[in-house]
Amino acid sequence: MSDPHPELVEYKRTPVFDEQSLPAGLRRDHRTKAGVYGRICVVEGRLRLSVGDGERVLEAGEVAVTLPEQLHAVEPVGAVRFYVAFCRPG
């Protein structure tokens, strides 16, 4: 997986979610705390990421980073496996 922000240091990680175990809170707009970046890592399948007025579909092997306090939501596009790594600048 190519990391768009390699300078970020992971300090915590969610379990791997799939289309069944994805928490409802991640499907609606939410945000990280001040100073916390969310590194969304798609292991298998496809995941729709909505940020502000835009959206994109992440494919297996892709990584996207949400900025601190940035509103975003995710939605599976069929079967998917992904996790979120919480990071701070290193």
Q: Could you list the residue range(s) of the whole structural domain that residue 85 is in?
A: 8-89
> Is the pLDDT assigned to residue 5 strictly greater than 90?
no
Contacts of 49 (CB under 8 A, 6+ apart): 40, 55, 56, 57, 58, 64, 72, 73, 74
Task: Tell me the pLDDT band of 53, cut-offs 50, 70 and 90.
Answer: confident
pLDDT digits (tens, 9 = 90+) for 33-46: 999 999 999 999 99
pTM for the full model?
Answer: 0.91
| Helix H or strand E segment including 32 | none
Could you tell me if residue 24 is inside a domain? yes
Whether 3 is covered by a domain: the verdict is no
pLDDT for 4 beyond 80: no
Overall domain count for the chain = 1
Q: Is residue 84 part of a domain?
A: yes
- Distance (Å, rounded) from C-alpha 63 to C-alpha 61? 7
Model confidence at 6, pLDDT cuts 50, 70, 90, reads: confident
The answer to whether position 1 is within a domain reads no
Segment 57-83 mean pLDDT: 96
The type of residue at 60 is A
